[in-house]
Structure 1
Amino acid sequence: MVLGVRKEEQRTARHVQQLHDWAIALPRDPGQCATATSRPHQSVTFRRQELHMLQNPHPVSESNRSADITTAMTATMGAIAARIAPASGAQEADLVNLTAAVVLAVPAADHADIVRAPIDGESDFGPKQRYSASATLDELHTATGTVADNPARTVLREHLPVRIDDTVSEVRWPQFTAPANACAVGSMLALPLTADGNTIGVLNLYARRPHAFTTDDRALAAVFADTAAAALHTLMMRTEQHPSAVVCRDVIEQAIGLLMARHGLSSRQAPDTLGRIADRRHESMLTTAHRLIGDVPDAAAPLVPGTLRLTRTDTAHVVIVHVHNDIDYRNAPAFVIGLGEVLIAAEARPVVIDLHEVDFISTEGLAALAALDDRAGRGGSPISLTGSYPVQRQVHVLDLGRNLRCYTDHGAATRAARDGAPG
């Protein structure tokens, strides 16, 4: 049975790699996308029935059925989607390519498009607001572009996904469903694309047969919707198709420059770093940029660089220090002083430094950790760290783990510090 499941996993990995190879080979010229992607499941070796197996594998035992494989595949598809349409430099061609990837990856989908929300005088979904390589959808939008209401408009208005199971029996959008059925669209799925709390567009998936979209199809489509939202937002910002685009762009560029100057990052590394910090904090890149440059518009937003907030949890056996914001060159001295005071007050009790709310630490902050490392090695209060993977990686790269023990799990760090166990 294990051998059977392993073969399924190997087969899954092989087919996902085929999709990856297809994705990175897509043309960058939007004019070439129609021929490259109009029938992608026939133009590549990644056959539709084999892709369907990824979502509905048949291992030897039904109890082993696709939970782990589907989870791994969804994560992989997210990475592939991000490769197709990079949020830091998306182009119109990337959005077209992304719709082609959706058709290839979601078993039920026969067509897909991305529709941008109308702005400043745009009254309907014209060609400049749509991204797709499907001639069928061109015909459909020609027939329905000026109707009073359709699924995409409903998504933009209500900010929620919409599903049409059967265009023949659907009664909510009669002016849309009749032409859709005439264009051989039997069912449809529309997902909102959100950025900065606004719905800026819609990812639409279309199937020829009714009742085509399963729960797995919807989950996989949502992965691509996340990437599409980030890419569309970046494109709108760059082309100034978004409210306050110029101001927003200046804020982001200022934050990128700050990262380059403060952390020695290149012009390519800094935008990627800013995007990763935003992803980890589950906030937009603009909000993260405001936070980094110390211009946070919302008083409830995270603490800005240069400030420091430490809290303590004292027990009879251990002292836990919670660090609530990133450590930069301005607050690193306060970080050292604050931790020094804690070590004195600990009176030889073990100390756990909780860095879970820290996304990055400057050179000065790492120097403070090195000083703690040396102090721990000279027999002071035993010190353990607990934090996210990026923080742990920094600790290990600088070889600070010789005396400082670093853990992902807060409970494990507390137990290790209390018991004096090695990491």
Structure 2
Amino acid sequence: MNLDMREPMVESVGVLETAALLRELTAGLIAVTDFDHGLQALVRITRDAVAGVHGCGFTALRAGEPASVAASDPRLAGLDDLRHGPDSPAMSAIRRREMILSADLAGEVRWPAWTARARDLGVHGVISAPVDIDDQVIGAINLYAGASDLLTPRHQLTAMLLAEHAGLLLAAVRDRARQATQAGERDAALLHDGVVGQAVGVIMTQRGCPPAEALEVLRSAASSLDIPLREVAERLVRTVSRQRDS
């Protein structure tokens, strides 16, 4: 096989690997509601799926301050944590809003303290790509290579696509978390509402179940009967009251 034929084949394999990575990330994060759990899934899946990468990390800032850190390898977690110092590839990517590449850390001078720690941990190349999540949270995804000059233009393309996709997925995770919190607050308010709270107490007594499950039973009945939740609660309370009176 000549070189002209081999190069397109390598590029095609890279495209297929990246597509598989994005599919796996979507499957892994589609139902996650905890942001930190989402970050852990992101770095683990990326490390396992991208050839030539032996570690992956994520650095997140919330309202401009260090927030969450995730690392596929606990030994490398300090490389993503801004508490060890603001000079790092991740912070450069976040500040400049562009991808940062250092294929060989042996000659790197931009982050001397960070580079020394990275090389001591067996990291010899890095790509950091900025990730826009929402108006409160931004970050960078960091790909680490265990040898010099392993990171290629294909890795840069993967990192660019990964950062874009990860931003969308993590924004959805944060949105689901907000919705779950709001739903919990609404449930708490309902449980303290007069007639609904009474109906929940009746169901808990009848079924021996916790409040959240009893409220869900009430909701299910309202949906099946296609009538408001409060009306179902009122009917249940009236029925139980009649039974007691008789």
Given the superposition, is the C-alpha separation of residues 148 and 91 from structure 1 closer, same or farther in structure 2, using an over 3 Å criterion?
closer
Counterpart in the other structure of 1:100 = 44
Aligned to 2:160: 222
Structure 2, unpaired ranges of 5+:
183-246
Matches within 5 A, 1:14-413: 62=6, 65-86=9-30, 89=33, 91-119=35-63, 122=65, 125=66, 129-140=68-79, 145-195=83-133, 200-237=138-175
Say if 1:90 and 1:66 are closer, same or farther in 2 by CA, change over 3 A: farther
Query: Normalising to structure 1: TM-score of the pair?
Result: 0.37
Q: Deviation digits for residues 161-220 of structure 1, max 9, x if unmatched?
A: 101122221011112111111121111110111246887111001112122211112222
Higher share of residues assigned helix: 2
Please report how far the alpha carbon of residue 227 of structure 1 lies from its aligned counterpart in structure 2 after TM superposition.
2.7
Amino acid at match of 1:130: V
Q: Relative to 1, partners in 2 of residues 1:211 and 1:75: Cα closer, same or farther, differing over 3 Å?
A: same
Decide whether aligned partners of structure 1 residues 80 and 148 sit closer, same or farther in structure 2, where only a CA change above 3 A counts: closer
Aligned residues: 182
Q: Report Cα offsets for 1:10-69 as digits up to 9, x if no partner.
A: xxxxxxxxxxxxxxxxxxxxxxxxxxxxxxxxxxxxxxxxxxxxxxxx99x537624544
Shift of 1:225: 2.0
| CA-CA distance at 1:228 after TM superposition | 1.8
3-state SS of paired residue (1:209): coil
The code of the aligned residue for 1:179 comes to R
User: Could you tell me how far apart the structure 1 residues matched to 2:11 and 2:122 are?
Assistant: 33
Q: 2: distance between equivalents of 1:200 and 1:89?
A: 18
Amino acid at match of 1:77: L
Q: Determine the structure 1 residue equivalent to 2:190.
A: none
Judged with a 3 Å threshold, the aligned counterparts in structure 2 of structure 1 residues 109 and 73 are, in CA distance, closer, same or farther, namely closer
CA distance in 1, matches of 2:120, 2:70: 22
Deviation of 1:79 (Å): 1.7
**Alpha-carbon offset, residue 110 of structure 1:** 0.7
2:150 counterpart SS class: coil
